[in-house]
Homo-oligomer: A and B are copies of this chain.
């Protein structure tokens, strides 16, 4: 339900991108992430909340720890978003080129 706009906003922050990139390599717990980052653990929790609401990550309980993983579905949605404008802008470019071509006749 939440759209790709939230996903882009979520990935706009450098710290959040670092977290996301790390989770892409391997699922991790909150404390593990915080250990390698220059911010406090609550800050990491807040970032994870944003990423979760943007459908970019998922979490599961494992004892007292919470393991966060990237949500492939949400990532695919962002990918399709860019795919769309990739095609659209290419079409517009092609239109403009052919139009100019006919005008030069």
Contacts and interface: CB of A to CB of B under 8 A. Distances in A.
Contact of A75 (B5, B14, B69, B85): B85
Interface in A69-105: 69-70, 72, 75-76, 78-79, 82-83, 85-86, 88-90, 92-93, 96
Chain A's interface: helix, strand, loop or mixed, by majority? Answer: helix
Contact of A86 (B26, B69, B75, B90): B75
Contacts of A75: 82, 85-86, 89
Interface of A: 5, 8-9, 11-12, 14, 17, 20-21, 23-27, 69-70, 72, 75-76, 78-79, 82-83, 85-86, 88-90, 92-93, 96
